[in-house]
Amino acid sequence: MIARLSRRALLGSAIAAGAAMIAAPAMAQNIKIGAFLAVTGPASFLGDPEAKTLKLYAEKINSAGGVLGRKIEVIVYDSAGDAKQATTFAKRLIEDDKVDVIVGGSTTGETMAVVPLIDEARIPFISLAGASVIVEPVKKWVFKMPHSDRMAVEKAYIDMKKRNLSGVAIIGGSGGFDQSCRKEAQALAPKYGMKVVADETYAPTDTDMTTQLTKIKNTAGVQAIFGCGFGSVTSITARNYKQLGMSTPFYFNHGVGSQQFIDGAGGGAEGVRVPVAALLVAEQLPAGDPQKKAALDYGAAYKTAYKEPISTFGGHAYDGLQIALDAIKRAGSTDKAKVRDAIEQTKNHVGVDGTYNMTPADHMGLTLESFKLVEIRNNTWKLLE
């Protein structure tokens, strides 16, 4: 059966691919938004909600009449978080699909790998990845949406300082997201009067972190633990933390901002503090908070469409899309240089991640205020501020 299936699939793929290549430049008046995202692979928990969000809002916006009287068309390719595939897909978006703006790059590695291409092609690019290195130093055509890992570290350190905790143990994975966060945690420690007294690493595919946590537990002077990471491995870390009966205040970076983290930890996440985008705690925001409505609306729309809990990562894609379209509206065209300038001039744009104020020197445009510190209580997020 598989044999027959594969023969037909081969034929089908050849025909379909041929058709796709021929039928490329048909509808010129659509506004084309290109995206390469880690829809599958180890970072799929980032790329999957991002892709879903882009598709959902493309439909919504089109049924509301589109932008500048033109329909928008979202083209998403799955990079699997692999830089080599990302560069090919970025090239395809630019050269073959002739998109007007690129939103995407779920991970820092794939984002940075396409930056040389973006520079050459002179096309506005809004990254959905976390590391500060993406916009520092500023690159003319490159913007990014999520709060940087540096902000997550700052948020956590400020809270630790409030609680008079100064000895920090870092535990994190060996992946790019984790390492970037770890680097910031090391670098920012002196500024906030913190001292990193332990630093433990695990592989992203590890299944038991009790060894690393035991070492932290037995290190003198550890007053708080800061976790850098994302995915199921963070759940296992929290679960092992509980298994070892540890009570040291535990912080995580914003990579754990999804219900999966809490569920996977089997109660181990209780009491863990996490800086997250306001999206996760939209209901708890005070009525006057400008983000509240945007976050609630997005959350409701996503849940209705996909019947699954929201994550903050989908929110980055939402903001990226909105900022790109807003800039196209203000530019009055899809002229790449004009759109780029308009993105750079984004002012008081209320997104689910916060209020964006871009400048030529700041291609992220978020401040610490839009980042919320939450604690996990009764298996859900509790806003602390």
Binding positions for other proteins, 244-303, rule CB under 8 A: 244-245, 260, 263-264, 266-267
32, 84, 97 from 80: Cα distances, Å: 22, 10, 20
Give the β-pairing of 371-377 and 380-383: antiparallel
> Toward other proteins, which CB reaches closer, 85 or 346?
85
Q: Does 379 bind other proteins (CB under 8 A)?
A: no
Which of 148, 83, 120, 177 lies closest to 363, judged by CA?
148
Binding to other proteins (CB under 8 A) within 199-228 occurs at 200-203, 205-208, 210-212, 214-215, 218
| Shortest separation between residue 380's beta carbon and other proteins, angstroms | 17
Helix ranges restricted to H, 163-271? 176-188, 210-217, 232-243, 259-264
> Toward other proteins, which CB reaches closer, 17 or 300?
17
Binding to other proteins (CB under 8 A) within 65-84 occurs at 77-78, 82-84
Binding to other proteins (CB under 8 A) within 172-191 occurs at 174-176, 178-180, 183
Q: Under a CB-based contact definition with an 8 Å cutoff, are residues 200 and 215 in contact? A: yes
> Toward other proteins, which CB reaches closer, 180 or 370?
180
Binding to other proteins (CB under 8 A) within 359-378 occurs at none
> Toward other proteins, which CB reaches closer, 77 or 302?
77
Count residues near other proteins (CB under 8 A): 78
Q: How far, in Å, CA of 12 to CA of 16, rounded?
A: 6
| Shortest separation between residue 56's beta carbon and other proteins, angstroms | 15
| Shortest separation between residue 326's beta carbon and other proteins, angstroms | 28
Which of 40, 53, 41, 126 lies closest to 313, judged by CA?
53
Identified binder of other proteins from the candidate list 31, 131, 189, 339, rule CB under 8 A = 131
Which residues lie closer than 8 Å to 347 by C-beta, 6 or more apart?
Answer: 357, 358
Q: Which region among 162-170, 234-242, 351-359, 370-378 touches other proteins (by CB under 8 A)?
A: 234-242
Region of 363 please: left (phi>0), alpha (psi -120 to 50) or beta.
alpha
Q: Under a CB-based contact definition with an 8 Å cutoff, are residues 106 and 124 in contact? A: no
Q: Which region among 13-21, 282-290, 315-323, 346-354 touches other proteins (by CB under 8 A)?
A: 13-21
Binding to other proteins (CB under 8 A) within 136-165 occurs at none
> Toward other proteins, which CB reaches closer, 78 or 159?
78
Q: Under a CB-based contact definition with an 8 Å cutoff, are residues 180 and 153 in contact? A: no
Q: How far, in Å, CA of 378 to CA of 345, rounded?
A: 42
